[in-house]
Structure 1
Amino acid sequence: MALPWALTVLSLLPLLDAQNPACANLTVAPMTNATLERISGKWFYIASANRNPEYNQSSQTIQAAFFYLTPNHTEDQILLREYTTMGDKCIYNSSDLRVQRENRTISKYEWGREHFAHLLFFKDPRTFFLAAYLDDEKNRGLSFYTDKPVATQEQLEEFHEALACLDMHKSEAVYTDWRKDQCEPQDSQDEKEKKTDEEES
Protein backbone atom coordinates (compact mmCIF):
# COMPACT_ATOMS: atom_id res chain seq x y z
CA MET A 1 0.00 0.00 0.00
CA ALA A 2 1.75 3.12 -1.20
CA LEU A 3 -0.06 5.75 0.83
CA PRO A 4 1.25 5.26 4.37
CA TRP A 5 4.88 5.02 3.30
CA ALA A 6 5.18 7.73 0.65
CA LEU A 7 6.54 10.11 3.28
CA THR A 8 9.46 12.47 3.78
CA VAL A 9 11.80 12.74 6.77
CA LEU A 10 11.11 15.98 8.60
CA SER A 11 11.40 16.86 12.28
CA LEU A 12 8.13 17.05 14.16
CA LEU A 13 9.48 18.72 17.25
CA PRO A 14 9.50 22.37 16.10
CA LEU A 15 5.96 22.07 14.78
CA LEU A 16 4.54 20.36 17.84
CA ASP A 17 6.29 22.73 20.25
CA ALA A 18 4.48 25.62 18.60
CA GLN A 19 1.06 24.12 19.33
CA ASN A 20 -1.07 24.38 22.43
CA PRO A 21 -0.26 22.31 25.56
CA ALA A 22 -2.89 19.68 24.69
CA CYS A 23 -0.70 18.67 21.75
CA ALA A 24 2.13 17.69 24.08
CA ASN A 25 0.61 14.19 24.13
CA LEU A 26 1.31 13.83 20.39
CA THR A 27 4.90 12.63 20.35
CA VAL A 28 7.45 11.26 17.92
CA ALA A 29 8.18 7.72 19.02
CA PRO A 30 11.82 6.73 19.64
CA MET A 31 12.83 3.66 17.61
CA THR A 32 13.50 1.38 20.57
CA ASN A 33 12.80 -2.35 20.83
CA ALA A 34 9.85 -1.51 23.08
CA THR A 35 8.42 0.82 20.40
CA LEU A 36 8.78 -1.85 17.74
CA GLU A 37 7.05 -4.41 19.94
CA ARG A 38 4.21 -1.94 20.54
CA ILE A 39 3.44 -1.78 16.82
CA SER A 40 4.01 -5.49 16.23
CA GLY A 41 0.99 -7.44 15.03
CA LYS A 42 -2.11 -6.72 12.95
CA TRP A 43 -3.25 -3.15 12.26
CA PHE A 44 -6.01 -1.51 10.26
CA TYR A 45 -5.71 1.61 8.13
CA ILE A 46 -8.63 3.84 9.13
CA ALA A 47 -8.09 7.27 7.60
CA SER A 48 -5.65 9.89 6.39
CA ALA A 49 -5.55 13.56 5.56
CA ASN A 50 -3.07 14.51 2.83
CA ARG A 51 -2.57 17.88 1.21
CA ASN A 52 -0.03 16.46 -1.20
CA PRO A 53 -2.08 15.82 -4.38
CA GLU A 54 -0.36 12.51 -5.19
CA TYR A 55 -0.91 11.07 -1.73
CA ASN A 56 -4.44 12.42 -1.55
CA GLN A 57 -5.31 10.76 -4.85
CA SER A 58 -3.81 7.48 -3.62
CA SER A 59 -5.91 7.61 -0.47
CA GLN A 60 -9.06 7.97 -2.56
CA THR A 61 -8.44 4.58 -4.20
CA ILE A 62 -8.10 2.55 -0.98
CA GLN A 63 -11.42 1.07 0.10
CA ALA A 64 -10.05 -0.90 3.06
CA ALA A 65 -6.64 -2.07 4.24
CA PHE A 66 -4.90 -3.94 7.02
CA PHE A 67 -1.37 -5.20 7.55
CA TYR A 68 0.96 -7.16 9.79
CA LEU A 69 4.20 -5.79 11.26
CA THR A 70 6.87 -8.23 12.43
CA PRO A 71 10.00 -6.51 13.83
CA ASN A 72 13.50 -7.95 13.54
CA HIS A 73 15.48 -6.15 16.23
CA THR A 74 18.90 -7.45 15.26
CA GLU A 75 18.52 -6.38 11.63
CA ASP A 76 16.59 -3.15 12.39
CA GLN A 77 13.93 -4.20 9.92
CA ILE A 78 10.19 -4.79 10.03
CA LEU A 79 8.48 -7.36 7.82
CA LEU A 80 5.38 -5.72 6.36
CA ARG A 81 2.56 -7.89 4.98
CA GLU A 82 -0.20 -5.73 3.46
CA TYR A 83 -3.76 -6.58 2.38
CA THR A 84 -5.34 -3.69 0.47
CA THR A 85 -8.79 -3.57 -1.15
CA MET A 86 -8.82 -1.41 -4.28
CA GLY A 87 -11.43 -1.55 -7.04
CA ASP A 88 -13.26 -4.23 -5.07
CA LYS A 89 -10.21 -6.52 -5.36
CA CYS A 90 -7.70 -7.69 -2.77
CA ILE A 91 -4.06 -6.81 -3.39
CA TYR A 92 -1.41 -8.53 -1.27
CA ASN A 93 2.14 -7.28 -0.88
CA SER A 94 5.09 -8.19 1.33
CA SER A 95 8.17 -6.03 1.89
CA ASP A 96 10.77 -4.99 4.46
CA LEU A 97 10.79 -1.66 6.26
CA ARG A 98 14.03 -0.20 7.54
CA VAL A 99 14.33 1.27 11.03
CA GLN A 100 16.57 4.32 11.55
CA ARG A 101 16.88 4.48 15.32
CA GLU A 102 19.00 7.64 15.38
CA ASN A 103 16.56 9.58 13.19
CA ARG A 104 13.41 8.11 14.76
CA THR A 105 12.13 7.07 11.35
CA ILE A 106 10.88 4.05 9.43
CA SER A 107 11.47 3.83 5.69
CA LYS A 108 10.32 1.83 2.69
CA TYR A 109 11.76 1.68 -0.82
CA GLU A 110 8.94 2.31 -3.25
CA TRP A 111 8.28 4.23 -6.48
CA GLY A 112 12.01 4.17 -7.27
CA ARG A 113 13.12 5.89 -4.08
CA GLU A 114 13.20 5.49 -0.32
CA HIS A 115 10.38 7.10 1.65
CA PHE A 116 10.59 7.93 5.34
CA ALA A 117 7.90 8.16 8.01
CA HIS A 118 7.76 9.47 11.55
CA LEU A 119 5.82 7.21 13.87
CA LEU A 120 3.58 9.15 16.28
CA PHE A 121 1.78 8.07 19.41
CA PHE A 122 -0.98 10.07 21.06
CA LYS A 123 -3.18 8.85 23.92
CA ASP A 124 -4.70 5.46 23.04
CA PRO A 125 -2.11 2.63 22.97
CA ARG A 126 -4.32 0.80 20.45
CA THR A 127 -3.61 3.44 17.81
CA PHE A 128 -0.68 5.06 16.04
CA PHE A 129 -0.04 7.61 13.29
CA LEU A 130 2.40 8.12 10.43
CA ALA A 131 3.20 11.68 9.41
CA ALA A 132 4.35 13.41 6.21
CA TYR A 133 5.72 16.82 5.16
CA LEU A 134 5.16 18.37 8.56
CA ASP A 135 7.05 21.59 7.84
CA ASP A 136 5.26 22.06 4.51
CA GLU A 137 1.74 23.37 5.00
CA LYS A 138 0.77 22.65 1.38
CA ASN A 139 1.84 18.98 1.47
CA ARG A 140 1.33 17.98 5.09
CA GLY A 141 -0.26 14.60 5.85
CA LEU A 142 -1.27 12.26 8.67
CA SER A 143 -2.38 8.61 8.48
CA PHE A 144 -4.28 6.85 11.27
CA TYR A 145 -4.24 3.16 12.33
CA THR A 146 -6.02 1.09 14.97
CA ASP A 147 -5.93 -2.52 16.14
CA LYS A 148 -9.58 -3.10 15.12
CA PRO A 149 -11.21 -2.75 11.67
CA VAL A 150 -13.57 -0.03 12.92
CA ALA A 151 -12.35 2.86 15.07
CA THR A 152 -14.29 3.84 18.17
CA GLN A 153 -15.75 7.32 18.48
CA GLU A 154 -13.06 8.15 21.03
CA GLN A 155 -10.31 7.03 18.65
CA LEU A 156 -11.77 9.10 15.82
CA GLU A 157 -11.86 12.11 18.13
CA GLU A 158 -8.20 11.47 18.92
CA PHE A 159 -7.42 11.46 15.20
CA HIS A 160 -9.24 14.77 14.82
CA GLU A 161 -7.30 16.19 17.77
CA ALA A 162 -4.04 15.08 16.17
CA LEU A 163 -5.04 16.77 12.92
CA ALA A 164 -5.78 19.97 14.83
CA CYS A 165 -2.35 19.77 16.44
CA LEU A 166 -0.88 19.78 12.94
CA ASP A 167 -3.10 22.71 11.90
CA MET A 168 -5.25 20.48 9.70
CA HIS A 169 -9.05 20.18 9.66
CA LYS A 170 -11.01 16.96 10.03
CA SER A 171 -12.85 17.78 6.80
CA GLU A 172 -9.56 17.01 4.97
CA ALA A 173 -9.68 13.37 6.05
CA VAL A 174 -10.49 10.43 3.77
CA TYR A 175 -11.80 7.28 5.47
CA THR A 176 -11.76 3.60 4.60
CA ASP A 177 -14.88 1.41 4.86
CA TRP A 178 -14.39 -2.04 6.36
CA ARG A 179 -17.65 -3.22 4.78
CA LYS A 180 -15.85 -3.05 1.42
CA ASP A 181 -12.96 -5.27 2.51
CA GLN A 182 -12.19 -8.13 0.11
CA CYS A 183 -9.01 -9.39 1.81
CA GLU A 184 -10.17 -11.04 5.02
CA PRO A 185 -10.85 -14.42 3.29
CA GLN A 186 -7.35 -14.45 1.78
CA ASP A 187 -5.83 -13.46 5.13
CA SER A 188 -7.68 -16.29 6.87
CA GLN A 189 -6.42 -18.76 4.27
CA ASP A 190 -2.86 -17.43 4.55
CA GLU A 191 -2.96 -17.75 8.34
CA LYS A 192 -4.21 -21.35 8.10
CA GLU A 193 -1.40 -22.25 5.70
CA LYS A 194 1.15 -20.50 7.91
CA LYS A 195 -0.06 -22.43 10.96
CA THR A 196 0.08 -25.71 9.03
CA ASP A 197 3.65 -24.99 7.89
CA GLU A 198 4.70 -24.20 11.47
CA GLU A 199 3.16 -27.43 12.77
CA GLU A 200 4.92 -29.50 10.09
CA SER A 201 8.32 -27.92 10.66
Structure 2
Amino acid sequence: MVLHMVLVILSLLPLLEAQNPEHANITGTAITNDTLIWLSGKWFYIGSALRNLEFKQAVQKIQAEYFYFTPNLTDNTILLQEYQTSEDRCVFNSTKLGVQRENGTLSKFEGAVEHVAHLKVFMKHRGFMLAFALEDKKNLGLSFYANKTDIAPELLEEFLEAVRSLGMDESEIIYTDWKKDVCSQQQKQREPERKKTEEGP
Protein backbone atom coordinates (compact mmCIF):
# COMPACT_ATOMS: atom_id res chain seq x y z
CA MET A 1 0.00 0.00 0.00
CA VAL A 2 1.42 3.32 -1.08
CA LEU A 3 1.72 5.85 1.74
CA HIS A 4 0.62 9.41 1.15
CA MET A 5 2.72 11.71 3.28
CA VAL A 6 0.17 14.18 4.51
CA LEU A 7 -2.40 11.48 5.18
CA VAL A 8 0.17 9.42 7.03
CA ILE A 9 1.10 12.37 9.22
CA LEU A 10 -2.53 13.10 10.03
CA SER A 11 -3.32 9.43 10.63
CA LEU A 12 -0.42 8.45 12.84
CA LEU A 13 -1.96 8.78 16.26
CA PRO A 14 -4.81 10.75 17.82
CA LEU A 15 -3.21 13.94 19.09
CA LEU A 16 -3.27 14.32 22.84
CA GLU A 17 -4.17 17.77 24.11
CA ALA A 18 -0.92 19.67 24.40
CA GLN A 19 -1.08 21.45 27.76
CA ASN A 20 2.68 21.50 28.29
CA PRO A 21 3.94 25.13 28.25
CA GLU A 22 7.10 24.12 26.39
CA HIS A 23 4.91 23.30 23.39
CA ALA A 24 3.45 26.79 23.28
CA ASN A 25 5.59 27.75 20.29
CA ILE A 26 4.10 24.86 18.30
CA THR A 27 0.45 24.74 19.41
CA GLY A 28 -2.39 27.01 20.43
CA THR A 29 -2.69 29.35 17.43
CA ALA A 30 -6.22 29.71 16.09
CA ILE A 31 -6.87 29.27 12.36
CA THR A 32 -8.54 32.28 10.71
CA ASN A 33 -9.83 32.98 7.20
CA ASP A 34 -6.52 34.73 6.55
CA THR A 35 -4.66 31.56 7.59
CA LEU A 36 -6.73 29.41 5.23
CA ILE A 37 -6.32 31.82 2.33
CA TRP A 38 -2.56 31.88 3.03
CA LEU A 39 -2.49 28.06 2.97
CA SER A 40 -4.14 27.94 -0.44
CA GLY A 41 -1.88 26.78 -3.26
CA LYS A 42 1.08 24.52 -3.88
CA TRP A 43 3.29 23.17 -1.09
CA PHE A 44 6.31 20.88 -0.89
CA TYR A 45 6.90 18.30 1.81
CA ILE A 46 10.42 18.96 3.11
CA GLY A 47 10.94 16.46 5.91
CA SER A 48 9.86 14.92 9.20
CA ALA A 49 11.27 14.07 12.60
CA LEU A 50 9.46 10.97 13.87
CA ARG A 51 9.84 8.86 16.98
CA ASN A 52 7.41 6.11 15.97
CA LEU A 53 9.66 3.49 14.33
CA GLU A 54 6.99 2.03 12.05
CA PHE A 55 6.10 5.38 10.56
CA LYS A 56 9.72 6.48 10.42
CA GLN A 57 10.47 3.48 8.20
CA ALA A 58 7.45 4.24 6.02
CA VAL A 59 8.47 7.88 5.55
CA GLN A 60 11.95 6.83 4.46
CA LYS A 61 10.37 5.43 1.28
CA ILE A 62 9.05 8.84 0.26
CA GLN A 63 11.49 10.46 -2.14
CA ALA A 64 9.55 13.64 -2.93
CA GLU A 65 6.08 15.08 -2.55
CA TYR A 66 4.17 18.19 -3.39
CA PHE A 67 0.49 18.97 -3.05
CA TYR A 68 -2.23 21.58 -3.41
CA PHE A 69 -4.41 22.95 -0.63
CA THR A 70 -7.80 24.37 -1.66
CA PRO A 71 -9.57 25.66 1.48
CA ASN A 72 -13.33 26.05 1.75
CA LEU A 73 -13.94 28.89 4.19
CA THR A 74 -17.64 28.07 4.52
CA ASP A 75 -17.52 24.42 5.55
CA ASN A 76 -14.07 24.53 7.22
CA THR A 77 -12.43 21.93 5.02
CA ILE A 78 -9.34 21.79 2.83
CA LEU A 79 -9.24 19.84 -0.42
CA LEU A 80 -5.88 18.08 -0.54
CA GLN A 81 -4.50 16.96 -3.91
CA GLU A 82 -1.06 15.42 -3.67
CA TYR A 83 1.65 13.98 -5.89
CA GLN A 84 4.05 11.66 -4.14
CA THR A 85 7.16 9.96 -5.49
CA SER A 86 7.75 6.72 -3.62
CA GLU A 87 10.12 3.99 -4.79
CA ASP A 88 10.59 5.82 -8.12
CA ARG A 89 6.85 5.84 -8.81
CA CYS A 90 4.35 8.70 -8.78
CA VAL A 91 0.99 8.36 -7.04
CA PHE A 92 -1.81 10.92 -7.07
CA ASN A 93 -4.28 11.16 -4.20
CA SER A 94 -7.14 13.48 -3.32
CA THR A 95 -9.02 13.85 -0.02
CA LYS A 96 -10.53 16.42 2.34
CA LEU A 97 -9.15 17.59 5.65
CA GLY A 98 -11.21 19.11 8.44
CA VAL A 99 -10.27 22.45 10.00
CA GLN A 100 -10.77 23.11 13.72
CA ARG A 101 -10.31 26.85 13.87
CA GLU A 102 -10.21 27.48 17.63
CA ASN A 103 -7.87 24.58 18.35
CA GLY A 104 -5.56 25.41 15.46
CA THR A 105 -5.74 21.85 14.15
CA LEU A 106 -6.31 19.89 10.95
CA SER A 107 -7.93 16.46 10.93
CA LYS A 108 -9.10 13.55 8.84
CA PHE A 109 -11.49 10.74 9.53
CA GLU A 110 -10.43 7.14 9.19
CA GLY A 111 -13.65 5.22 9.58
CA ALA A 112 -15.28 6.59 12.72
CA VAL A 113 -11.98 7.76 14.22
CA GLU A 114 -10.83 11.36 13.83
CA HIS A 115 -7.06 11.93 13.79
CA VAL A 116 -5.75 15.42 14.53
CA ALA A 117 -2.52 17.40 14.06
CA HIS A 118 -1.60 20.89 15.25
CA LEU A 119 -0.86 23.44 12.54
CA LYS A 120 1.97 25.93 12.99
CA VAL A 121 2.49 28.46 10.20
CA PHE A 122 5.49 30.65 9.39
CA MET A 123 3.86 33.30 7.24
CA LYS A 124 6.94 35.44 6.78
CA HIS A 125 8.97 32.59 5.29
CA ARG A 126 6.09 30.70 3.62
CA GLY A 127 6.21 27.41 5.49
CA PHE A 128 4.27 25.39 8.04
CA MET A 129 4.53 22.40 10.35
CA LEU A 130 2.17 19.69 11.53
CA ALA A 131 2.79 18.43 15.07
CA PHE A 132 1.33 15.30 16.60
CA ALA A 133 1.46 13.11 19.72
CA LEU A 134 3.34 15.84 21.55
CA GLU A 135 2.77 14.31 25.00
CA ASP A 136 3.94 10.86 23.92
CA LYS A 137 7.74 10.90 23.80
CA LYS A 138 7.87 7.51 22.07
CA ASN A 139 5.59 8.56 19.22
CA LEU A 140 5.77 12.34 18.91
CA GLY A 141 6.71 13.95 15.64
CA LEU A 142 6.83 16.99 13.38
CA SER A 143 6.43 17.32 9.63
CA PHE A 144 7.65 20.34 7.71
CA TYR A 145 6.37 21.97 4.49
CA ALA A 146 7.32 24.99 2.38
CA ASN A 147 6.12 26.75 -0.77
CA LYS A 148 9.38 25.96 -2.58
CA THR A 149 12.11 23.36 -2.31
CA ASP A 150 14.87 25.95 -1.94
CA ILE A 151 13.86 27.10 1.53
CA ALA A 152 15.18 30.11 3.41
CA PRO A 153 17.75 29.37 6.15
CA GLU A 154 15.51 31.20 8.63
CA LEU A 155 12.62 28.84 7.85
CA LEU A 156 14.78 25.75 8.25
CA GLU A 157 16.00 27.10 11.59
CA GLU A 158 12.38 27.46 12.76
CA PHE A 159 11.86 23.75 12.07
CA LEU A 160 15.14 22.73 13.70
CA GLU A 161 14.32 24.80 16.77
CA ALA A 162 10.92 23.09 17.06
CA VAL A 163 12.57 19.67 16.73
CA ARG A 164 15.04 20.53 19.48
CA SER A 165 12.28 21.94 21.71
CA LEU A 166 10.64 18.50 21.68
CA GLY A 167 13.86 16.86 22.88
CA MET A 168 14.62 15.38 19.47
CA ASP A 169 17.94 15.47 17.66
CA GLU A 170 18.52 16.90 14.19
CA SER A 171 19.87 13.49 13.16
CA GLU A 172 16.32 12.14 13.53
CA ILE A 173 15.06 14.28 10.63
CA ILE A 174 14.31 12.50 7.36
CA TYR A 175 14.43 14.86 4.38
CA THR A 176 13.00 14.42 0.90
CA ASP A 177 15.07 14.88 -2.27
CA TRP A 178 13.38 17.01 -4.92
CA LYS A 179 15.83 15.71 -7.55
CA LYS A 180 14.11 12.32 -7.28
CA ASP A 181 10.66 13.70 -8.09
CA VAL A 182 8.94 11.88 -10.97
CA CYS A 183 5.50 13.46 -10.55
CA SER A 184 5.94 16.75 -12.40
CA GLN A 185 4.96 15.38 -15.79
CA GLN A 186 1.96 13.54 -14.35
CA GLN A 187 0.90 16.70 -12.56
CA LYS A 188 0.92 18.60 -15.85
CA GLN A 189 -1.33 15.97 -17.37
CA ARG A 190 -3.73 16.15 -14.41
CA GLU A 191 -3.81 19.95 -14.23
CA PRO A 192 -7.09 20.29 -16.17
CA GLU A 193 -8.65 17.65 -13.88
CA ARG A 194 -7.39 19.45 -10.76
CA LYS A 195 -8.81 22.78 -11.88
CA LYS A 196 -12.14 21.20 -12.77
CA THR A 197 -12.31 19.70 -9.25
CA GLU A 198 -11.54 23.06 -7.67
CA GLU A 199 -14.16 24.87 -9.76
CA GLY A 200 -16.84 22.25 -9.16
CA PRO A 201 -19.69 21.26 -11.48
TM-score tier (shorter):
0.7 to 0.9
Are 1:6 and 2:11 counterparts? yes
Aligned ranges for residues 88-107 of structure 1 at < 5 Å? Answer: 88-107=88-107
Displacement after TM superposition at 1:102 (Å): 3.6
TM-score normalised according to structure 2 size: 0.85
**SS in structure 2 at match of 1:37:** helix
Seen in structure 2, the aligned counterparts of structure 1 residues 123 and 158 have a Cα distance that, compared at 3 Å, is: farther
CA distance in 1 between counterparts of 2:96 and 2:196 reads 24
User: 2 CA distance for matches of 1:196 and 1:132?
Assistant: 33
Unaligned runs of 5+ in 2: none
| 1:54 CA drift (Å) | 2.5
- Sort the Cα spacing of 1:34 and 1:71 in 2 relative to 1 into closer, same or farther, 3 A: same
Residue 168 (structure 1) shift: 1.3
> By how many angstroms is 1:123 displaced?
7.0
The question of whether the paired residues in 2 share the 8 Å contact of 1:9 and 1:105 is answered with no
**1:36 offset after TM fit, Å?**
1.1
Pairing 1:101-140 to 2, within 5 Å after superposition: 101-110=101-110, 113-122=113-122, 124-140=124-140
Aligned-residue CA RMSD (Å): 2.6
Check whether the contact 1:29–1:35 (CA below 8 A) recurs between aligned residues. no
Within 5 Å, give how 1:157-168 maps onto structure 2.
157-168=157-168
Aligned residues: 194
Q: In the TM superposition, what whole-angstrom CA distance separates every residue of 1:9-61 from its partner, at most 9, and x where no partner exists?
A: 2333x33x237xxxx65454312211111211110000000101222122111
d(CA) in 2 for partners of 1:196, 1:50? 36
Does 2:22 align with 1:18?
yes
Identity of aligned residues (%): 50
1:100 is displaced (CA, Å) by 1.9
In structure 1, the gaps of 5 or more residues are none
* Residue 67 of structure 2: aligned partner: 67
Given that 2:117 and 2:130 are in contact with CA atoms closer than 8 Å, whether structure 1 keeps it comes out as: yes
